[in-house]
Amino acid sequence: TQLLEQSPQFLSIQEGENLTVYCNSSSVFSSLQWYRQEPGEGPVLLVTVVTGGEVKKLKRLTFQFGDARKDSSLHITAAQTGDTGLYLCLVNLNAGGTSYGKLTFGQGTILTVHP
């Protein structure tokens, strides 16, 4: 079983449409991060959400952390072709404690925005 369940796995939309990607778990996390990966590159951090219910905006991207800190969503308004890529959520297991930290990713959402 996957610790972090991302949905949808694939998303193909036209430029100008809105979309939402979800990252869900049955576990509670102290924080959650969203990364974006372009073809041939490593993932790059978009945002970190820390507080339950927190909403962060990054231009046309809106990130929300669930009230119970078990899930998160990424909403893109008026998608552009440049938004095409793989979107990944990530949590740091055992972060901040005496145990080691394992950075664990969801399966990812492949977004394709067509002109």
Our CB check for another protein shows the closer of 28 and 78 to be 28
55-58 and 32-37: which strand pairing?
unpaired
Is residue 69 left, alpha or beta, with left meaning phi > 0 and alpha meaning psi from -120 to 50? left
Q: Does residue 6 interact with another protein by CB under 8 A?
A: yes
AA identity, residue 95: A
CB of 60 to another protein, least distance (A): 21
What's the rounded Cα separation, in Å, for the pair 34 and 30? 14
CB of 4 to another protein, least distance (A): 9
Residues found near another protein in the complex (CB under 8 A): 6, 29-31, 33, 40-45, 48, 50, 86, 88, 90-92, 94-96, 100-108, 110
